[in-house]
Structure 1
Amino acid sequence: MNPIQSEVRNFVAENFLFGEDPESLQNDDSFLETGIIDSTGVLELVAFIEDQYHVEVDDDELVPENLDSINRLIDFIDSKIKELA
């Protein structure tokens, strides 16, 4: 597991999986479809990404394609970090 995947999984588990087994969350599970994260949770997730990885998430990037699963988050964070390089 790469460091970003580990950090994202830990954040989601600690902040959104109240009492659920973190291992039950698959990397491709939709946060919205499974009810793990709602619109307020998306804002928490964005704050985490910006603080943890020192990137800025633009309003037009607040879409499920970027934020709706662990794998999508990892890809999005990787792309934002590469933009900084």
Structure 2
Amino acid sequence: MICIISYFSGAIRLVCFQRDGHRIRRGVSLIASILIGTLFCAGLDIVLQHPHVSFFQAVTSGLVCLFIFRTRGNVAALMRITD
């Protein structure tokens, strides 16, 4: 259940990202679209097929969701490497 909530909430947060003056970069937009599709399909796969989800998959999906919400859905900030 944790994986389903994490995947769907992360995908919805990415879809609801407000630019607020940030410029549009095609590469980052493409990566964001791929990430949204991947998260949505992963959550849908668990809902429809009911596979066994391991503890580590649940932790990974929770961390991805946490990072997405921490950056407020900004994929460019997710990809940024700072010292």
Higher helix share: 2
Which structure has the bigger radius of gyration? Answer: 2
Larger RCO, structures 1/2 (Cα 8 Å, 6+ apart) = 2
Q: Taking structure 2 as the reference length, what is the TM-score of the superposition?
A: 0.30
